[in-house]
């Protein structure tokens, strides 16, 4: 705007205001001498001449300044109506050159003042709460959008009903819990449930994360807590939701050299606001965390977070409902059965299921399909559970054979052991960080694990190492991850689950964490003799299951060879194919034993006692 004003003023001063035919000063005098000029005007300030001829033609010229006396006499003699004008100078235009730099200086200082005020405002408002407020004018997620978790929604619905109809609870004298803590593994939908409460409650909903309270200045967190509760009290009834509350609710005095003073002051202020001298009626606190074990006990006592709602991993029915939500709006083929997908995804959270369907849709687009088929979901599940296939990884023939027998060892043990999880797929295509994968899928969700199931798991883990030893007579580094997982599982059996007869019903697995404020020097709560017994029991369990694995693979050695041969030929085979190959090996062994018995009795020849008998089908996948 300032630039436009300056341009206008400069244009008015620079553009000529005269109009007419421009002629030179000698030509003008010549026309005056000839008597062709009827009238004119001379500007004493600029020397410009504006004249009108007898025929009405307008002329413009510039004369000397000042006009010579001889020229003045000549003009007065031949042009009686010639005037000498001295116009007054425009005051505003005369001071523009002075006002322009002054105006620019004023503008600069005004901008600096506004900038300083903004910085001071941000510093003065650093203690204000950063909570986002959702009101009834902004409806969002409702309980209908949360699939499954009927028990969780029932407990949360009581909070919503209290805020909507408090008189129902007041008549019977019931008091609504002041705080509700949502506890569960990551990805189970704790924040989604809180969003549903915001959409159902009909009261203002203030959402904030635990990290929003932390700042580099001392006391800022406590100030933001005070401002948060003050804002909620002004609203009358409100719900305050703090996501990831463990970031500010950890045990006080924890850590090496003391605790985090700023976080502890923030926690103290929150404890005081929730159940202190100043009441907070009508305000319900909600929080979510996946680490309830590190929260301060004062935060979990009755009167503060006095109700804990566990949001576990979804069960079979919950997974089916969640899958229905995520396939809504997507094109699916007729062969896609969500019941089968739900049964094949135990242990997956809601976020995992959403990622599974999205990966399946990406595979469908990659294949040029317009619908998500069952094979796309199968590929996506393999991608999520086993990792991205690395088909370009170059392996030698010896390495492929070793990997095939390694995975065949896992597969045979998983197929023949009575309590092992059903075998789903075996592949020697490198996936993720693994060179081969044996995938097992449980038929149903497990909540407790029996000792015989755990021991069979150990046997399956040893299957790859023992298979290499039986076939090649040496072991390789391919069993490193199997040994680590087997050792950790056996250690849990002995130290935590009391599955050792020698130690008895005793648990030694409570390893106190340093960040929880325990003594750093106290690393264990048992003697050296007990530690020796623990180590001996762990070793005994591992060696016994290794021997079981060796005897199992020795018994099914022919099946091991068939499975390994099928893997070398097809790279990936299903669990049903592994079971068929093992059945073929059993049939071949039975026929071989019968032929050997006949040979011993003199009723047959010795041919056919080794190798596969006639009539046994060739393994295919």
Active site (catalytic) residues: 407
Return the exposure string of 251-262: e unless at least 16 CB atoms fall within 10 Å of the residue's CB, then b: bbebeeeebbeb
| Distance set, CA 390 to CA 395, 399, 413, 429 (Å) | 11, 15, 26, 7
* SS3 track for 387-444: CCECCCCCCCHHHHHHHHHHHHHHHHHHHHCCCCCCEEEEECCCECCECCEEEECCCC
DSSP state of 218: T
Whole-angstrom Cα distance, residue 528 to residue 533? Answer: 9
Whole-angstrom Cα distance, residue 563 to residue 581? Answer: 7
Give bridge partners of residue 42 from the DSSP assignment: 49, 84
Can you read off the two tokens belonging to residue 458?
Answer: 């150990």
3-state helix, strand, coil in the chain (%, to 5): 50, 10, 35
Return the exposure string of 523-551: e unless at least 16 CB atoms fall within 10 Å of the residue's CB, then b: eeeeeeeeeebbeebbeebbeebbebbbe
Determine if the peptide bond prior to 66 is cis (ω within 30°): yes
Whole-angstrom Cα distance, residue 200 to residue 203? Answer: 9
Can you read off the two tokens belonging to residue 330?
Answer: 């997507």
Instruction: Say if residues 490 and 432 touch (Cβ distance below 8 Å).
Output: no
CA atoms within 13 A on the CB side of 560: 26
Instruction: Say if residues 180 and 305 touch (Cβ distance below 8 Å).
Output: yes
Query: CA-based diameter of the chain, in Å?
Result: 163
Instruction: Say if residues 165 and 201 touch (Cβ distance below 8 Å).
Output: no
Whole-angstrom Cα distance, residue 228 to residue 230? Answer: 5
Whole-angstrom Cα distance, residue 288 to residue 309? Answer: 9
Whole-angstrom Cα distance, residue 326 to residue 314? Answer: 14
Instruction: Say if residues 406 and 466 touch (Cβ distance below 8 Å).
Output: no
Sign of the CA dihedral with 365 first, then 368, 374, and 377 last: negative
């Amino acid at each position: 705007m300032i630039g436009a004003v300056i341009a206008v003023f400069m244009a008015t001063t620079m553009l000529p205001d005269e109009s007419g035919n421009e002629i030179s000063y000698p030509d003008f005098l010549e026309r005056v001498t000839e008597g062709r000029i009827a009238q004119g005007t001379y500007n004493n300030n600029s020397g410009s001449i504006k004249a009108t001829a007898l025929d009405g033609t307008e002329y413009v010229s510039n004369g000397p300044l000042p006009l010579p006396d001889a020229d003045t006499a000549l003009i007065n003699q031949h042009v009686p109506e010639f005037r000498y004008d001295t116009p007054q100078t425009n005051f505003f235009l005369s001071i523009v050159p002075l006002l322009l730099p002054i105006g620019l200086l004023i503008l600069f200082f005004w901008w600096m003042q506004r900038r300083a005020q903004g910085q001071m405002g941000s510093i003065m408002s650093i203690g204000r709460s950063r909570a986002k407020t959702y009101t009834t004018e902004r409806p969002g997620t409702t309980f209908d959008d949360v699939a499954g978790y009927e028990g969780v929604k029932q407990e949360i619905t009581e909070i919503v009903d209290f805020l909507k109809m408090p008189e129902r609870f007041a008549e019977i004298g019931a008091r609504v819990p002041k705080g509700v803590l949502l506890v569960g593994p990551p990805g189970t939908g704790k924040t989604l449930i809180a969003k549903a409460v915001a959409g159902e409650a009909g009261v203002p909903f203030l959402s904030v994360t635990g990290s929003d309270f932390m700042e580099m200045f001392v006391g800022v967190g406590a100030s933001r807590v005070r401002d948060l509760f003050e804002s909620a009290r002004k609203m009358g009834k409100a719900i305050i939701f703090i996501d990831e509350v463990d970031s500010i609710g950890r045990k006080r005095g924890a850590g090496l050299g003391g605790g985090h003073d700023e976080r502890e002051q923030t926690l103290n202020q929150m404890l005081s606001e929730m159940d202190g001298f100043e009441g907070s009626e009508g305000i319900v606190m909600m929080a979510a965390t996946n680490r309830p074990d590190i929260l301060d006990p004062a935060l979990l006592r009755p009167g503060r977070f006095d109700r804990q709602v566990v949001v576990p991993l979804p069960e079979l029915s919950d997974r089916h409902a969640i899958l229905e939500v995520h396939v809504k709006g997507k094109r699916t083929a007729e062969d896609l059965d969500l019941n089968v997908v739900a049964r094949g995804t135990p242990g997956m959270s809601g976020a995992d299921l959403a990622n599974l369907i999205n990966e399946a849709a990406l595979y469908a687009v990659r294949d040029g399909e317009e619908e998500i088929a069952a094979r796309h979901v199968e590929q996506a599940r393999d991608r999520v559970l086993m990792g991205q296939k690395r088909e370009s990884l170059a392996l030698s023939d010896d390495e492929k054979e070793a990997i095939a027998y390694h995975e065949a060892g896992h597969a045979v043990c998983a197929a023949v052991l009575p309590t092992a999880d059903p075998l789903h797929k075996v592949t020697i295509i490198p996936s993720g960080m693994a060179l081969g994968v044996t995938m097992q899928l449980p038929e149903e969700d497990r909540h407790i694990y029996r000792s015989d199931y755990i021991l069979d798991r150990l046997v399956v883990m040893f299957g790859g190492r023992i298979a290499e030893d039986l076939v090649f007579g040496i072991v390789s580094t391919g069993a490193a991850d199997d040994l680590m997982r087997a050792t950790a599982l056996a250690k849990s059996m002995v130290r935590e689950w009391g599955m050792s007869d020698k130690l008895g019903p005793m648990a030694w697995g409570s390893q106190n964490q340093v960040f929880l404020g325990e003594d750093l020097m106290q690393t264990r709560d048992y003697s050296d003799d007990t530690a020796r017994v623990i180590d001996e029991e762990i070793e005994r369990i591992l060696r016994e299951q290794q021997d079981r694995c060796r005897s199992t693979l020795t018994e099914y050695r022919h099946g091991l060879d068939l499975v390994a041969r099928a893997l070398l030929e097809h790279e990936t085979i299903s669990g049903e194919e592994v079971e068929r190959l093992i059945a073929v090996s059993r049939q071949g062994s039975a026929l071989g034993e019968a032929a050997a018995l006949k040979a011993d009795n003199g009723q047959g020849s010795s041919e056919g006692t080794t190798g596969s008998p006639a009539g046994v089908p060739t393994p295919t996948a």
